[in-house]
A and B are shown apart, each in its own frame.
Chain A
Amino acid sequence: MTDTVKIFIPRDSAALAVGANDVVQAIEREATARGQSIQIVRNGSRGLLWLEPMVEVQTPQGRMAYGPVQAEDVAGLFDAGWLQGASHPLAHGLTDEIPYLKNQQRLTFARVGITDPLSLSDYQAHGGLAGLKRAATMEPAAIVDEVIESGLRGRGGAAFPTGIKWKTVLTTPAQQKYIACNADEGDSGTFSDRMIMEGDPYTLIEGMTIAGLAVGATYGYIYVRSEYPDAVATLNSAIQNARAAGWLGHDIAGTGRAFDLEVRVGAGAYICGEETSMLESLEGKRGQVRSKPPLPAIKGLFGQPTVINNVISLATVPIILAKGAAYYRDYGMGRSKGTLPFQLAGNLKHGGLVERAFGLTLRELLYDYGGGSASGRPLRAVQVGGPLGAYLPESQWDTPIDYEAYVGISAMVGHGGLVAFDDTVDMSKMAQYAMEFCAVESCGKCTPCRIGAVRGTEVIEKIRAGNEREQQIHLLRDLCDTMLGGSLCALGGMTPYPVLSALDHFPEDFGLAKSSQPAASAV
């Protein structure tokens, strides 16, 4: 009998969606047939998503990566001696030495892909719970101050200072307060929330618990979209385990204070990612946007003071408490402190998750990490920040990524997702799609969004058909102005960003004179 070899195969849906479970079965079959003892660990994903399913073999030198592995590759990998870390066309050497991963600054994602997401002992062995233990010794106001000091801003997209929001909830007296985690990650090109929930769920639970101690909330909800069944299942298992271990319940870390939480599943409405709409949905209603004020921090869920934060914001809190505000604040630039887990998506050769401090450029992400287009054609436009984010032409790819700098170019960093398009894209079609999406997803409460998006779609259709083009473009700009200024929330209020950026930067796609910006190179 040979020594048992540890093999890591992700359970992340990005791996499952390309056959990871078949690979597990093939490896088990092959190992049995060869009399080789193995231990399979279902880890989170390392985020090198073009290599999924990426299998790692534990060797004396470290973890060796092989990918993308399909079931039919497995026998050949055994033949080549992969359990000893042997070379093979699918081999990538030591995982930690792969430049894509090595050149990252992983704070929020420190454990993702390394540990078994549901193992309580793995979590603690890799720094988990240190933040909560420290928070348990602190006064609530001191915890809030630490988060304010760290410079952490809302990673869902609005970039509001997290600690300031917490302070409002802390100083609003109430019998019951809530922590509501917004995990309704509906923006195309984003998957960092999903990867945390599937790859390191305890860090989210720990972050929410710290938030509870900080503001005096005893109950939390994680509102997850129904399109993420694997994340829901992983979170539910993690919550059960945490409860059984006493990490959740009546006495948090010896403080004598209670905190518990539950997962709520959305039902396919994009608008429920808007915070007040999410509250309505959690209360069992149609997900219609509420007018503000009152702020949810003062009158939120069930009328009580509520902290609403995105998954990444909350999942970043443990490391801030564990290592101190200054440690986190030292990353980043300007008023954009810390790191952002960028998500490289669309037409890129090397799509995946790249956590880096603010201040790098889109060009670095697209080429140094993304490897240029997947199609081999020149890249032409990049949408940053989801369906409500602007389309950026090559001339804007060197702006340092920073919340304020992006506002300066009429764009938004948002949740850090970027979707790349090659030169076959028709930007007038993408503009029309932005309006169509808004029409489909509008909650219907305010007129600029409900009616504006429908009219916007029609107007762009006419422009594309060359029907009274000049007048229709004038009308479109006027309509966008109304939506920007008159909508109740960001859906109607920001749909003009992709529309107008497409029109301004790529006028030739709307039948106007060509702009002077050429498409970029492929690599």
Chain B
Amino acid sequence: MNTPPKAPLSEDTVQQATQEALHRHAGQKGNLLPILHDVQHALGHIPEAAVPLIAQALQLSRAEVHGVISFYPHFRQTPSADLVLEVCRAESCQAMGGDQLAAHAQQKLGCGFHATSTDGKVTLEPVYCLGLCAQSPAVMINGRPHARVTPAKLDQLLGAQGA
């Protein structure tokens, strides 16, 4: 996998974001997922250095926290590119040309799924259903849904975001 050329996060940044997340959810029952969401929202991924801080605060082992992070596909352990393109791979989109759209995305970006484009601008991920199945195929770009997406429309959407 290509990692986009970005300056690594400083220890202080990771610590601050993690402490803020821990503070926000202190006392909330079963709060590990909300904390992880907050850290990822602040930092773009969940850095290795955040794990011991979370583990200590929640009285869990590092292995337990790591186990949760690695179980859920949404949580990233490495940074993504500035643009994250999620292409739906589920049945309804397959019925409407989703495979061709996925092939087009891979060819255009020059990378497979779970990887970043050769120019480092776009990370490509599969997603299994965006709930837009009456308007297949669908994609998500940085958390915004787009439906009835053709290869040409995908190019246009990415182009509008500078990729």
Q: Do A and B come from one complex?
A: yes
Interface positions of A (Cβ within 8 A of B)? 13-14, 16-18, 49-50, 52, 185-191, 193-194, 226-230, 264-270, 281-288, 302, 343-348, 351-353, 374, 383, 387, 417, 419-422, 425, 430, 433, 437, 440-441
| 18 A-B pairs (CB sep. < 8 Å) | A17-B130, A17-B135, A17-B148, A18-B147, A186-B128, A189-B133, A191-B131, A191-B134, A226-B37, A267-B74, A269-B73, A287-B72, A302-B30, A343-B134, A345-B95, A345-B136, A346-B92, A383-B91
Contact indicator A14/B134 (Cβ below 8 Å)? yes
Cβ-defined partner of B95 (8 Å) among A281, A387, A419, A440: A419
Contact indicator A437/B128 (Cβ below 8 Å)? yes
A441 to B95, CA, bound (A): 21
Contact indicator B71/A286 (Cβ below 8 Å)? yes
Chain B nearest CB: distance from A490 CB in Å? 16
Q: Residues of B contacting A227 with CB < 8 Å?
A: 127, 129-131, 140
Q: Which residue of A lies closest to B58 (CB)?
A: A284
Q: Residues of B contacting A352 with CB < 8 Å?
A: 134
Chain B nearest CB: distance from A115 CB in Å? 21
Contact indicator B95/A425 (Cβ below 8 Å)? yes
A346 with B136, Cβ < 8 A, contacts A267-B37, A284-B31, A284-B32 known: yes
Q: Which residue of A lies closest to B88 (CB)?
A: A188
A348 to B73, CA, bound (A): 31
Contact indicator A345/B133 (Cβ below 8 Å)? yes
Most buried by A among B37, B73, B91, B131: B131
A288 to B72, CA, bound (A): 11
Most buried by B among A226, A265, A284, A433: A284
A226 to B129, CA, bound (A): 11
A229 to B130, CA, bound (A): 10
A269 to B30, CA, bound (A): 17
Q: Residues of B contacting A286 with CB < 8 Å?
A: 67-68, 71
A281 to B96, CA, bound (A): 33
Contact indicator A419/B147 (Cβ below 8 Å)? no
Q: Which residue of B lies closest to A383 (CB)?
A: B91
Q: Mark B111-145, 1 if CB is under 8 A from A, else 0.
A: 00000000000000001111111111010100111
Q: Residues of B contacting A419 with CB < 8 Å?
A: 91-92, 95, 133
Chain B nearest CB: distance from A473 CB in Å? 23
Contact indicator A18/B148 (Cβ below 8 Å)? yes
Contact indicator A374/B96 (Cβ below 8 Å)? yes
- From 32 to 46 in chain B, residues with beta carbon under 8 angstroms from any chain A beta carbon are 32-34, 36-37
Contact indicator B37/A188 (Cβ below 8 Å)? no
Q: Residues of A contacting B93 with CB < 8 Å?
A: 188
- Other A-B contacts than A188-B128, A265-B34, A267-B36, 13 sampled, CB-CB below 8 A, are A188-B91, A190-B131, A190-B133, A265-B33, A266-B72, A268-B72, A269-B71, A285-B32, A302-B29, A343-B134, A351-B133, A430-B91, A433-B91
Cβ-defined partner of B134 (8 Å) among A193, A226, A266, A348: A348
The yes or no answer to B15 lying at the interface (CB within 8 A) is: no
A267 to B130, CA, bound (A): 13
Cβ-defined partner of B147 (8 Å) among A14, A226, A228: A14
Contact indicator B131/A346 (Cβ below 8 Å)? no
Contact indicator B134/A270 (Cβ below 8 Å)? no
The yes or no answer to B90 lying at the interface (CB within 8 A) is: yes
The yes or no answer to B146 lying at the interface (CB within 8 A) is: yes
Cβ-defined partner of A284 (8 Å) among B33, B95, B131: B33
Chain A nearest CB: distance from B149 CB in Å? 9
Q: Residues of A contacting B58 with CB < 8 Å?
A: 284
Q: Residues of A contacting B90 with CB < 8 Å?
A: 188-189, 387, 437
Q: Which residue of B lies closest to A348 (CB)?
A: B134
A265 to B37, CA, bound (A): 8
Q: Which residue of B lies closest to A279 (CB)?
A: B30
Q: Residues of B contacting A13 with CB < 8 Å?
A: 131-132, 145
Chain B nearest CB: distance from A231 CB in Å? 8
Chain A nearest CB: distance from B141 CB in Å? 11
Chain B nearest CB: distance from A54 CB in Å? 12
The 6 nearest A-B residue pairs measured at CB: A351-B134, A284-B32, A188-B90, A267-B72, A345-B133, A268-B74
Chain A nearest CB: distance from B34 CB in Å? 7
A353 to B133, CA, bound (A): 11
Chain B nearest CB: distance from A423 CB in Å? 12
